Amino acid sequence: DQQVKQNSPSLSVQEGRISILNCDYTNSMFDYFLWYKKYPAEGPTFLISISSIKDKNEDGRFTVFLNKSAKHLSLHIVPSQPGDSAVYFCAASYSGAGSYQLTFGKGTKLSVIP
Amino acid sequence: SAVISQKPSRDICQRGTSLTIQCQVDSQVTMMFWYRQQPGQSLTLIATANQGSEATYESGFVIDKFPISRPNLTFSTLTVSNMSPEDSSIYLCSVEVARRLYSEAFFGQGTRLTVV
């Protein structure tokens, strides 16, 4: 049973437009959500996160929105740039886990077309 | 932040052989984590490696298949034993850095393993 779902394996967006990457989760105990970005032949790097006590977190061109009632979060990239082309992983964790553990989605490959 | 050096970056191995992946961190960390990403799949946690004790394995992963060493607070190895083509994956080591409100994960660059 996949607790974190990214239902779109790929997404293509024109440069300068908005990219919206979606993520759904099923475990209501998750209280922290993170987005990671992964280029080919590199490990994932942290991008942005949001706590369940918030519904929005913004960092430059990147904004993450959280809808707890729908168990849904999304990452918005505005404006999209060719360098944003990468695989984006949504991850979730909960503070009651004791030891740290992230649960990842399968990733969405974003292609930004110049 | 934490800088993680992972090697080899890629390898092609014969079935039935074993490969040991090394992970070096530039600072001391309590826990190190090993993940696997099979083609088209999520990053899946294999095990958590604590220094001075046996690794804790997630459901579906066993020590005989994925032995882990953690000799000190900056280094760990993961061995993929008796490999089969199904073990072809990207293997990643990761460490946790505690922030004020959450923990942030840093990853090595990954090891792309192909078993033929």
A100 band by pLDDT with thresholds 50, 70 and 90: low
pLDDT digits (tens, 9 = 90+) for A30-62: 988 999 999 887 888 889 999 999 999 999 999
pLDDT at A73: 97
**Residue of B103, B106, B114 best to disrupt the A interface, most CBs of A under 10 A:** B103
Contacts of B41 in chain A (CB under 8 A): 106
User: What is chain A's mean pLDDT, rounded?
Assistant: 91
Record: contact A49-B102, CB cut-off 8 A: yes
Which of B101, B103, B107 shows the shortest C-beta gap to A43? B107
Which of A93, A100, A107 shows the shortest C-beta gap to B31? A100
pLDDT at B90: 93
pLDDT digits (tens, 9 = 90+) for B76-112: 999 999 999 999 999 999 998 776 666 678 899 899 9
Supply φ then ψ for residue B51, to 5 degrees. -70, 130
- List, as ranges, residues 16-75 from A with C-beta within 8 Å of B: 32, 34, 36, 41-46, 49, 51
Taking the C-alpha atoms of residue B113 and residue B19, their distance in angstroms, rounded to an integer, is 9
B43 band by pLDDT with thresholds 50, 70 and 90: confident
pLDDT at B40: 78
Contact B33, B93 (CB under 8 A): yes
pLDDT top residue among B51 and A64: A64
Candidates B31, B54, B24; CA nearest to B105 is B31
A75 band by pLDDT with thresholds 50, 70 and 90: very high
What is the CB neighbour count within 10 angstroms for residue A53? 10
Record: contact A104-B31, CB cut-off 8 A: no
